[in-house]
Structure 1
Protein backbone atom coordinates (compact mmCIF):
# COMPACT_ATOMS: atom_id res chain seq x y z
CA UNK A 1 0.00 0.00 0.00
CA UNK A 2 1.24 3.46 -0.87
CA UNK A 3 2.51 5.40 2.14
CA UNK A 4 0.97 8.83 2.72
CA UNK A 5 3.57 11.02 4.41
CA UNK A 6 2.46 13.18 7.37
CA UNK A 7 2.10 16.94 6.93
CA UNK A 8 5.10 17.65 9.17
CA UNK A 9 7.38 15.68 6.85
CA UNK A 10 5.81 16.99 3.64
CA UNK A 11 6.18 20.64 4.64
CA UNK A 12 9.74 20.33 5.90
CA UNK A 13 10.66 18.30 2.81
CA UNK A 14 9.04 20.85 0.50
CA UNK A 15 11.22 23.58 1.97
CA UNK A 16 14.30 21.46 1.32
CA UNK A 17 13.34 20.73 -2.28
CA UNK A 18 12.41 24.34 -3.04
CA UNK A 19 15.50 25.75 -1.31
CA UNK A 20 13.86 29.07 -0.49
CA UNK A 21 10.17 29.73 -0.98
CA UNK A 22 7.19 31.57 0.43
CA UNK A 23 4.54 29.73 2.39
CA UNK A 24 2.13 29.53 -0.55
CA UNK A 25 4.72 27.74 -2.69
CA UNK A 26 5.56 25.41 0.20
CA UNK A 27 1.88 24.55 0.68
CA UNK A 28 1.43 23.86 -3.03
CA UNK A 29 4.50 21.64 -3.22
CA UNK A 30 3.58 19.78 -0.04
CA UNK A 31 -0.02 19.30 -1.17
CA UNK A 32 -1.41 20.84 2.01
CA UNK A 33 -3.62 23.81 2.76
CA UNK A 34 -1.89 27.13 3.32
CA UNK A 35 -3.07 27.14 6.93
CA UNK A 36 -1.60 23.69 7.55
CA UNK A 37 1.67 24.68 5.87
CA UNK A 38 1.96 27.81 8.01
CA UNK A 39 1.28 25.83 11.17
CA UNK A 40 4.01 23.30 10.32
CA UNK A 41 6.44 26.03 9.23
CA UNK A 42 6.04 27.92 12.48
CA UNK A 43 6.45 24.71 14.47
CA UNK A 44 9.63 23.98 12.50
CA UNK A 45 10.84 27.49 13.20
CA UNK A 46 10.23 27.04 16.93
CA UNK A 47 12.17 23.76 16.80
CA UNK A 48 15.09 25.46 15.03
CA UNK A 49 14.56 23.49 11.81
CA UNK A 50 13.42 26.35 9.56
CA UNK A 51 13.98 30.06 9.31
CA UNK A 52 11.83 32.81 7.85
CA UNK A 53 13.44 35.74 6.08
CA UNK A 54 11.51 38.92 5.29
CA UNK A 55 13.40 41.91 3.95
CA UNK A 56 12.28 44.39 1.28
CA UNK A 57 10.81 42.18 -1.47
CA UNK A 58 12.42 39.01 -0.07
CA UNK A 59 10.03 36.82 1.89
CA UNK A 60 10.43 33.09 2.31
CA UNK A 61 11.43 30.02 4.24
CA UNK A 62 14.55 27.86 4.21
CA UNK A 63 15.91 24.98 6.27
CA UNK A 64 18.61 25.34 8.89
CA UNK A 65 21.37 22.73 9.10
CA UNK A 66 19.50 21.04 11.93
CA UNK A 67 16.33 21.17 9.81
CA UNK A 68 18.08 19.31 6.99
CA UNK A 69 19.27 16.72 9.49
CA UNK A 70 15.75 16.36 10.92
CA UNK A 71 14.27 16.04 7.45
CA UNK A 72 16.68 13.22 6.64
CA UNK A 73 15.87 11.53 9.96
CA UNK A 74 12.15 11.66 9.16
CA UNK A 75 12.71 10.32 5.65
CA UNK A 76 14.87 7.45 6.91
CA UNK A 77 12.29 6.53 9.57
CA UNK A 78 9.53 6.57 6.97
CA UNK A 79 11.43 4.21 4.67
CA UNK A 80 11.79 1.57 7.38
CA UNK A 81 8.08 0.78 7.25
CA UNK A 82 7.14 2.07 3.78
CA UNK A 83 9.95 0.54 1.71
CA UNK A 84 11.12 -2.79 3.16
CA UNK A 85 12.03 -4.05 -0.32
CA UNK A 86 14.31 -1.07 -1.10
CA UNK A 87 12.26 0.03 -4.11
CA UNK A 88 13.54 3.60 -3.77
CA UNK A 89 17.17 2.49 -3.85
CA UNK A 90 16.59 0.38 -6.96
CA UNK A 91 14.75 3.22 -8.69
CA UNK A 92 17.57 5.60 -7.80
CA UNK A 93 20.12 3.30 -9.46
CA UNK A 94 17.96 3.27 -12.61
CA UNK A 95 17.60 7.05 -12.41
CA UNK A 96 21.33 7.82 -12.52
CA UNK A 97 21.94 7.01 -16.23
CA UNK A 98 18.83 9.00 -17.15
CA UNK A 99 20.16 11.87 -15.07
CA UNK A 100 23.47 11.85 -16.96
CA UNK A 101 21.59 12.11 -20.24
CA UNK A 102 19.39 14.93 -18.94
CA UNK A 103 22.44 16.95 -17.87
CA UNK A 104 23.96 16.59 -21.34
CA UNK A 105 20.73 17.80 -22.94
CA UNK A 106 20.50 20.83 -20.66
CA UNK A 107 24.13 21.73 -21.38
CA UNK A 108 23.45 21.57 -25.12
CA UNK A 109 20.25 23.57 -24.64
CA UNK A 110 22.23 26.34 -23.01
CA UNK A 111 25.45 26.21 -25.05
CA UNK A 112 25.84 25.81 -28.83
CA UNK A 113 29.51 25.99 -29.91
CA UNK A 114 30.42 28.05 -32.94
CA UNK A 115 33.67 28.34 -34.89
CA UNK A 116 34.44 31.55 -33.03
CA UNK A 117 33.26 30.60 -29.54
CA UNK A 118 33.32 27.16 -27.97
CA UNK A 119 30.89 28.14 -25.21
CA UNK A 120 28.54 30.37 -27.20
CA UNK A 121 25.04 30.68 -25.71
CA UNK A 122 22.34 28.85 -27.63
CA UNK A 123 20.19 31.49 -29.33
CA UNK A 124 17.58 28.85 -30.21
CA UNK A 125 17.59 29.85 -33.87
CA UNK A 126 18.85 26.46 -35.06
CA UNK A 127 15.62 24.47 -35.17
CA UNK A 128 17.39 21.21 -36.01
CA UNK A 129 19.69 21.56 -32.97
CA UNK A 130 16.84 22.35 -30.60
CA UNK A 131 14.60 19.76 -32.20
CA UNK A 132 17.10 17.00 -31.48
CA UNK A 133 17.26 18.07 -27.84
CA UNK A 134 13.49 18.28 -27.48
CA UNK A 135 13.21 14.78 -28.92
CA UNK A 136 15.65 13.48 -26.32
CA UNK A 137 13.76 15.30 -23.55
CA UNK A 138 10.56 13.64 -24.75
CA UNK A 139 12.23 10.22 -24.67
CA UNK A 140 13.57 10.88 -21.18
CA UNK A 141 10.09 11.80 -19.98
CA UNK A 142 8.72 8.52 -21.31
CA UNK A 143 11.49 6.57 -19.59
CA UNK A 144 11.05 8.47 -16.35
CA UNK A 145 7.34 7.67 -16.09
CA UNK A 146 7.59 3.97 -15.13
CA UNK A 147 10.38 4.80 -12.68
CA UNK A 148 8.26 7.36 -10.83
CA UNK A 149 5.32 4.92 -10.94
CA UNK A 150 7.48 2.48 -8.95
CA UNK A 151 8.40 5.22 -6.51
CA UNK A 152 4.89 6.55 -6.00
CA UNK A 153 3.59 3.02 -5.44
CA UNK A 154 5.73 3.05 -2.30
CA UNK A 155 5.71 6.74 -1.31
CA UNK A 156 2.81 8.84 -2.57
CA UNK A 157 4.85 12.06 -2.42
CA UNK A 158 6.77 10.94 -5.54
CA UNK A 159 3.59 11.26 -7.61
CA UNK A 160 3.32 14.32 -9.85
CA UNK A 161 6.88 14.72 -11.08
CA UNK A 162 6.18 13.40 -14.57
CA UNK A 163 3.05 15.53 -14.99
CA UNK A 164 5.05 18.64 -14.08
CA UNK A 165 7.88 17.63 -16.39
CA UNK A 166 5.52 17.01 -19.30
CA UNK A 167 3.76 20.33 -18.70
CA UNK A 168 7.07 22.19 -18.82
CA UNK A 169 8.20 20.26 -21.90
CA UNK A 170 4.96 21.11 -23.71
CA UNK A 171 5.60 24.81 -23.07
CA UNK A 172 9.19 24.47 -24.22
CA UNK A 173 8.08 22.78 -27.43
CA UNK A 174 5.52 25.55 -27.96
CA UNK A 175 8.22 28.22 -28.28
CA UNK A 176 8.96 29.09 -24.65
CA UNK A 177 12.59 27.96 -24.20
CA UNK A 178 12.80 29.11 -20.58
CA UNK A 179 10.55 26.20 -19.60
CA UNK A 180 13.31 23.77 -20.50
CA UNK A 181 16.12 24.96 -18.26
CA UNK A 182 15.39 28.05 -16.14
CA UNK A 183 15.21 27.85 -12.35
CA UNK A 184 12.67 30.65 -11.82
CA UNK A 185 9.86 28.64 -13.47
CA UNK A 186 8.81 25.02 -13.00
CA UNK A 187 10.99 23.97 -15.94
CA UNK A 188 12.01 20.48 -17.03
CA UNK A 189 15.40 21.00 -15.40
CA UNK A 190 13.94 22.32 -12.15
CA UNK A 191 11.49 19.41 -11.87
CA UNK A 192 14.25 16.92 -12.63
CA UNK A 193 16.59 18.56 -10.10
CA UNK A 194 13.93 18.34 -7.40
CA UNK A 195 13.29 14.67 -8.14
CA UNK A 196 17.04 14.02 -7.91
CA UNK A 197 17.19 15.88 -4.58
CA UNK A 198 14.13 13.97 -3.38
CA UNK A 199 15.87 10.67 -4.11
CA UNK A 200 19.21 11.53 -2.49
CA UNK A 201 17.48 13.00 0.57
CA UNK A 202 15.24 9.96 0.95
CA UNK A 203 18.21 7.59 0.72
CA UNK A 204 20.69 9.75 2.63
CA UNK A 205 23.04 9.86 -0.37
CA UNK A 206 25.82 12.42 -0.66
CA UNK A 207 25.71 13.80 -4.22
CA UNK A 208 29.50 14.13 -4.15
CA UNK A 209 29.78 10.35 -3.93
CA UNK A 210 27.38 9.54 -6.75
CA UNK A 211 28.68 7.24 -9.46
Structure 2
Protein backbone atom coordinates (compact mmCIF):
# COMPACT_ATOMS: atom_id res chain seq x y z
CA UNK A 1 0.00 0.00 0.00
CA UNK A 2 1.38 3.39 -0.96
CA UNK A 3 0.03 6.87 -1.49
CA UNK A 4 0.72 9.01 -4.55
CA UNK A 5 3.76 10.69 -2.99
CA UNK A 6 5.37 7.39 -1.99
CA UNK A 7 4.84 5.99 -5.50
CA UNK A 8 6.31 9.16 -7.03
CA UNK A 9 9.39 9.00 -4.78
CA UNK A 10 9.96 5.30 -5.42
CA UNK A 11 9.54 5.54 -9.20
CA UNK A 12 11.06 8.97 -9.81
CA UNK A 13 7.94 10.01 -11.74
CA UNK A 14 6.34 13.43 -11.17
CA UNK A 15 3.65 13.24 -8.46
CA UNK A 16 0.94 14.73 -10.69
CA UNK A 17 1.73 12.19 -13.42
CA UNK A 18 1.68 9.40 -10.81
CA UNK A 19 -1.76 10.52 -9.60
CA UNK A 20 -3.05 10.52 -13.17
CA UNK A 21 -1.60 7.06 -13.88
CA UNK A 22 -3.01 5.63 -10.66
CA UNK A 23 -6.46 6.96 -11.48
CA UNK A 24 -6.17 5.42 -14.97
CA UNK A 25 -5.12 2.11 -13.42
CA UNK A 26 -8.07 2.34 -11.04
CA UNK A 27 -10.38 2.73 -14.05
CA UNK A 28 -8.89 -0.48 -15.50
CA UNK A 29 -9.54 -2.22 -12.18
CA UNK A 30 -5.85 -2.79 -11.50
CA UNK A 31 -5.54 -0.71 -8.31
CA UNK A 32 -7.87 0.51 -5.59
CA UNK A 33 -7.57 2.95 -2.70
CA UNK A 34 -7.76 1.43 0.76
CA UNK A 35 -7.81 2.83 4.27
CA UNK A 36 -6.60 0.87 7.28
CA UNK A 37 -5.81 1.87 10.86
CA UNK A 38 -5.46 5.55 10.09
CA UNK A 39 -3.36 5.12 6.97
CA UNK A 40 -4.30 4.77 3.35
CA UNK A 41 -3.04 4.38 -0.14
CA UNK A 42 -3.22 2.41 -3.35
CA UNK A 43 -2.96 -1.34 -3.58
CA UNK A 44 -3.14 -3.83 -6.42
CA UNK A 45 -6.41 -5.66 -6.99
CA UNK A 46 -6.53 -9.33 -8.01
CA UNK A 47 -6.91 -8.15 -11.59
CA UNK A 48 -3.94 -5.79 -11.12
CA UNK A 49 -1.78 -8.62 -9.79
CA UNK A 50 -2.63 -10.69 -12.86
CA UNK A 51 -1.74 -7.78 -15.16
CA UNK A 52 1.50 -7.21 -13.24
CA UNK A 53 2.41 -10.90 -13.59
CA UNK A 54 1.71 -10.75 -17.33
CA UNK A 55 3.85 -7.64 -17.80
CA UNK A 56 6.71 -8.98 -15.68
CA UNK A 57 6.79 -12.25 -17.65
CA UNK A 58 6.76 -10.29 -20.90
CA UNK A 59 9.59 -8.03 -19.70
CA UNK A 60 11.66 -11.02 -18.57
CA UNK A 61 11.23 -12.75 -21.94
CA UNK A 62 11.91 -9.65 -24.01
CA UNK A 63 15.09 -8.86 -22.06
CA UNK A 64 16.14 -12.54 -22.14
CA UNK A 65 16.94 -12.07 -18.46
CA UNK A 66 15.36 -15.15 -16.88
CA UNK A 67 18.66 -16.92 -16.21
CA UNK A 68 20.22 -13.83 -14.66
CA UNK A 69 17.23 -13.26 -12.37
CA UNK A 70 17.01 -16.96 -11.45
CA UNK A 71 20.73 -16.98 -10.59
CA UNK A 72 20.32 -13.82 -8.52
CA UNK A 73 17.36 -15.32 -6.71
CA UNK A 74 19.34 -18.46 -5.86
CA UNK A 75 22.21 -16.31 -4.58
CA UNK A 76 19.73 -14.20 -2.60
CA UNK A 77 18.26 -17.06 -0.56
CA UNK A 78 21.26 -17.70 1.74
CA UNK A 79 21.75 -13.95 2.09
CA UNK A 80 18.11 -13.68 3.10
CA UNK A 81 18.74 -16.16 5.92
CA UNK A 82 21.53 -13.95 7.19
CA UNK A 83 19.42 -10.80 6.94
CA UNK A 84 16.56 -12.39 8.88
CA UNK A 85 19.00 -13.51 11.58
CA UNK A 86 20.58 -10.05 11.80
CA UNK A 87 17.21 -8.29 12.07
CA UNK A 88 16.07 -10.78 14.71
CA UNK A 89 19.29 -10.15 16.64
CA UNK A 90 18.65 -6.42 16.41
CA UNK A 91 15.22 -6.87 17.94
CA UNK A 92 15.91 -9.70 20.42
CA UNK A 93 18.83 -10.52 22.69
CA UNK A 94 18.35 -13.82 24.52
CA UNK A 95 19.34 -13.69 28.18
CA UNK A 96 18.54 -15.32 31.51
CA UNK A 97 16.84 -18.28 29.82
CA UNK A 98 14.50 -16.02 27.82
CA UNK A 99 15.21 -16.49 24.14
CA UNK A 100 12.70 -13.78 23.28
CA UNK A 101 14.11 -11.03 25.48
CA UNK A 102 13.88 -7.65 23.77
CA UNK A 103 17.20 -6.14 22.77
CA UNK A 104 17.36 -2.93 24.78
CA UNK A 105 20.52 -1.95 22.86
CA UNK A 106 22.56 -1.61 26.05
CA UNK A 107 25.21 -4.06 24.76
CA UNK A 108 27.30 -2.16 22.20
CA UNK A 109 29.22 -5.30 21.19
CA UNK A 110 25.99 -7.15 20.35
CA UNK A 111 24.67 -4.26 18.28
CA UNK A 112 28.05 -3.71 16.58
CA UNK A 113 28.09 -7.39 15.54
CA UNK A 114 24.64 -6.97 13.97
CA UNK A 115 25.65 -3.78 12.15
CA UNK A 116 28.84 -5.47 10.91
CA UNK A 117 26.76 -8.33 9.51
CA UNK A 118 24.48 -5.84 7.79
CA UNK A 119 27.57 -4.15 6.31
CA UNK A 120 28.77 -7.50 4.95
CA UNK A 121 25.30 -8.07 3.49
CA UNK A 122 25.40 -4.60 1.92
CA UNK A 123 28.55 -5.63 0.06
CA UNK A 124 26.91 -8.85 -1.14
CA UNK A 125 23.79 -6.93 -2.10
CA UNK A 126 25.84 -4.53 -4.20
CA UNK A 127 27.20 -7.41 -6.27
CA UNK A 128 23.78 -9.03 -6.60
CA UNK A 129 22.07 -5.80 -7.67
CA UNK A 130 24.91 -5.09 -10.10
CA UNK A 131 24.28 -8.39 -11.87
CA UNK A 132 20.52 -7.80 -11.91
CA UNK A 133 20.71 -4.26 -13.27
CA UNK A 134 22.90 -5.48 -16.09
CA UNK A 135 19.85 -7.41 -17.27
CA UNK A 136 16.95 -5.30 -15.96
CA UNK A 137 17.71 -1.69 -15.03
CA UNK A 138 14.64 -1.44 -12.77
CA UNK A 139 16.49 -3.48 -10.12
CA UNK A 140 18.85 -0.56 -9.61
CA UNK A 141 18.84 1.30 -6.33
CA UNK A 142 18.09 -1.45 -3.84
CA UNK A 143 21.72 -1.55 -2.77
CA UNK A 144 21.90 2.24 -2.43
CA UNK A 145 18.69 2.38 -0.35
CA UNK A 146 19.94 -0.44 1.88
CA UNK A 147 23.29 1.28 2.39
CA UNK A 148 21.59 4.60 3.14
CA UNK A 149 19.41 2.95 5.80
CA UNK A 150 22.46 1.22 7.26
CA UNK A 151 24.34 4.52 7.45
CA UNK A 152 21.46 6.03 9.43
CA UNK A 153 21.43 3.01 11.76
CA UNK A 154 25.18 3.34 12.30
CA UNK A 155 24.61 7.02 13.10
CA UNK A 156 22.37 6.01 16.00
CA UNK A 157 18.94 5.87 14.36
CA UNK A 158 18.14 2.27 15.27
CA UNK A 159 14.74 2.21 13.55
CA UNK A 160 16.60 2.15 10.22
CA UNK A 161 17.60 -1.48 10.78
CA UNK A 162 14.15 -3.08 10.93
CA UNK A 163 11.69 -0.25 11.51
CA UNK A 164 8.26 -0.07 9.95
CA UNK A 165 7.17 3.03 8.08
CA UNK A 166 10.70 3.93 6.96
CA UNK A 167 12.87 2.58 4.16
CA UNK A 168 14.83 0.50 6.68
CA UNK A 169 17.35 -2.17 5.79
CA UNK A 170 14.66 -4.79 6.39
CA UNK A 171 11.97 -2.97 4.39
CA UNK A 172 14.32 -2.45 1.43
CA UNK A 173 15.41 -6.08 1.55
CA UNK A 174 11.78 -7.26 1.63
CA UNK A 175 10.98 -5.12 -1.41
CA UNK A 176 13.84 -6.70 -3.35
CA UNK A 177 12.72 -10.16 -2.27
CA UNK A 178 9.17 -9.44 -3.44
CA UNK A 179 10.50 -7.99 -6.71
CA UNK A 180 12.52 -11.15 -7.38
CA UNK A 181 9.55 -13.40 -6.60
CA UNK A 182 7.15 -11.34 -8.71
CA UNK A 183 9.57 -11.14 -11.62
CA UNK A 184 10.00 -14.91 -11.65
CA UNK A 185 6.33 -15.65 -10.97
CA UNK A 186 7.16 -17.49 -7.75
CA UNK A 187 4.60 -17.52 -4.95
CA UNK A 188 5.90 -16.48 -1.52
CA UNK A 189 6.55 -19.64 0.46
CA UNK A 190 7.09 -21.73 -2.67
CA UNK A 191 10.82 -21.02 -2.89
CA UNK A 192 13.28 -23.84 -2.79
CA UNK A 193 16.48 -23.55 -0.83
CA UNK A 194 17.29 -22.35 2.67
CA UNK A 195 14.98 -19.90 4.41
- Structure 2 length-normalised TM: 0.93
Residue in structure 2 matched with residue 28 of structure 1 by the alignment: 9
Residue in structure 2 matched with residue 164 of structure 1 by the alignment: 145
Task: Check if 1:181 corresponds to 2:162.
Answer: yes
Residue in structure 2 matched with residue 200 of structure 1 by the alignment: 181
Q: 1:55 to 1:135 in 2, by over 3 A?
A: closer
Counterparts of 1:180 and 1:146, CA distance in 2: 20
Partner SS, residue 122 of structure 1: coil
Residue 71 of structure 2: which of 90, 93, 110 is its match? 90
Partner SS, residue 183 of structure 1: coil
Counterparts of 1:201 and 1:56, CA distance in 2: 27
Runs of 4+ in 1 over 3 A off after TM superposition: 53-59
- Structure 1 length-normalised TM: 0.86
5 Å-filtered alignment, 1:67-106, equals: 67-84=48-65, 86-106=67-87
Counterparts of 1:36 and 1:73, CA distance in 2: 23
- Could you tell me which runs of 5 or more consecutive residues in structure 1 were left unpaired when the two chains were aligned: 1-19
Counterparts of 2:52 and 2:183, CA distance in 1: 9
Residue 103 of structure 2: which of 122, 132, 138 is its match? 122
Counterparts of 2:37 and 2:186, CA distance in 1: 36
